[in-house]
């Protein structure tokens, strides 16, 4: 089993060693990818950036007209119960999915469905080696829909791009839409040029990553100037530094793009400063105080 045994399923904690959850065939998440999700970091069993993740989850639901049948306070309570009942005290992630619910197959959704909610914990270490050495990325066409700001279950273009990149020996795909660099297949992208940090604006063409927002706040604290502007592949090739951000990868340097080194293929000083600031703020001690 790759996940912790006790999972959250439709508002209840169930022990999968005793009972497996069952999902209806006509669950809309299964048939249409009709739902949203979040991946939330746990460091030493403690939530990291939980509030912004939940804010984005609720925004995603609102954008696709899913109305939760539970309150945010209830959800937070269940998530804390999930970590406590699994006695989870190490590094991991919570995968949380809310899909529209069960209905006889029909493209038109009913407004009175009960959304299907589940969440589980997967132990996951910080990718310290990759963070120190950096990764190779490959460019892939960004063929996704025009609402990438919604964290929807429809990840087929991301899945295809990431698999294609892997086959070419790369650890991440860098999406290009009409010659503009948007983001990674599972991450946001930043470049550094002349000590200025650049990243794609948080519009409908990217997911506004929680770590993206966090890194922007760290950059501000470190007095690193930031520009949320469009840039192309050539700008990346000529950059001083490049890195991806995401919940599981933190600040992950990109040293090579399509087989060519970026600025000599080394991890740059601004990337390292942001990694350090990120690391210095990781929760070390188990906090038992609840938000609710």
Residues contributing to the site for ligand PLP (CB under 6 A)? 39, 158, 183, 186-188, 207, 209-212, 245-247
β 12-15/260-261 pair status: unpaired
CB of 132 to ligand PLP, least distance (A): 20
Q: Which is nearer to ligand PLP, 113 or 153 (CB)?
A: 153
Q: Which is nearer to ligand PLP, 117 or 161 (CB)?
A: 161
CB of 208 to ligand PLP, least distance (A): 8
Q: Which is nearer to ligand PLP, 55 or 291 (CB)?
A: 55
Give Cα 159 to chain centroid, integer Å. 14
CB of 93 to ligand PLP, least distance (A): 10
The two tokens of residue 217 are 């706040």
**Among 17, 98, 8, 49, which residue's Cα sits nearest to residue 250?**
49
Contact 128, 107 (CB under 8 A): no
Q: Which is nearer to ligand PLP, 136 or 144 (CB)?
A: 144
193 an active-site residue? no
Q: At what angle do helices 50-63 and 72-85 cross, to 10 degrees?
A: 130
Half-sphere exposure of 104 (CA within 13 A, CB side): 0
Options 151, 178, 276, 287, the catalytic residue = 151
CB of 53 to ligand PLP, least distance (A): 7
For the beta carbon of residue 80, count every other beta carbon within 10 angstroms: 16
Q: Which residues are catalytic?
A: 151
């Amino acid at each position: 089993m790759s996940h912790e045994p006790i999972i959250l399923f439709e508002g209840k904690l169930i022990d999968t060693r005793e009972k497996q959850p069952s999902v209806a065939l006509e669950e809309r998440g299964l048939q249409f990818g009709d739902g949203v999700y979040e991946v939330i970091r746990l460091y030493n069993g403690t939530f990291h950036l939980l509030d912004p993740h939940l804010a984005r989850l609720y925004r995603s639901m609102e954008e696709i007209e899913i109305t939760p049948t539970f309150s945010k306070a209830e959800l937070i309570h269940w998530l804390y119960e999930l970590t406590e009942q699994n006695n989870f005290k190490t590094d991991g992630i919570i995968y949380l999915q809310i899909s529209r619910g069960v209905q006889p197959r029909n493209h038109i959704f009913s407004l009175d469905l009960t959304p299907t909610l589940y969440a589980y914990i997967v132990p996951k270490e910080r990718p310290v080696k990759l963070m120190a050495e950096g990764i190779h990325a490959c460019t892939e066409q960004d063929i996704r829909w025009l609402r990438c700001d919604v964290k929807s279950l429809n990840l087929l273009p991301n899945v295809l791009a990431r698999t294609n990149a892997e086959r070419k020996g790369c650890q991440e795909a860098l999406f290009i839409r009409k010659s503009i660099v948007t983001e990674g297949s599972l991450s946001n992208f930043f470049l550094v040029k002349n000590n200025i940090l650049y990243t794609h604006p948080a519009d409908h063409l990217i997911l506004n990553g929680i770590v993206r927002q966090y890194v922007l706040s760290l950059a501000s604290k470190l007095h690193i100037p930031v520009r949320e502007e469009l840039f192309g592949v050539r700008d990346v090739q000529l950059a001083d530094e490049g890195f991806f951000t995401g919940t599981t990868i933190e600040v992950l340097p990109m040293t090579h793009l399509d087989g060519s080194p970026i600025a000599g293929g080394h991890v740059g000083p601004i990337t390292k400063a942001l990694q350090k600031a990120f690391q210095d703020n990781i929760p070390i001690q188990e906090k038992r105080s609840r938000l609710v």
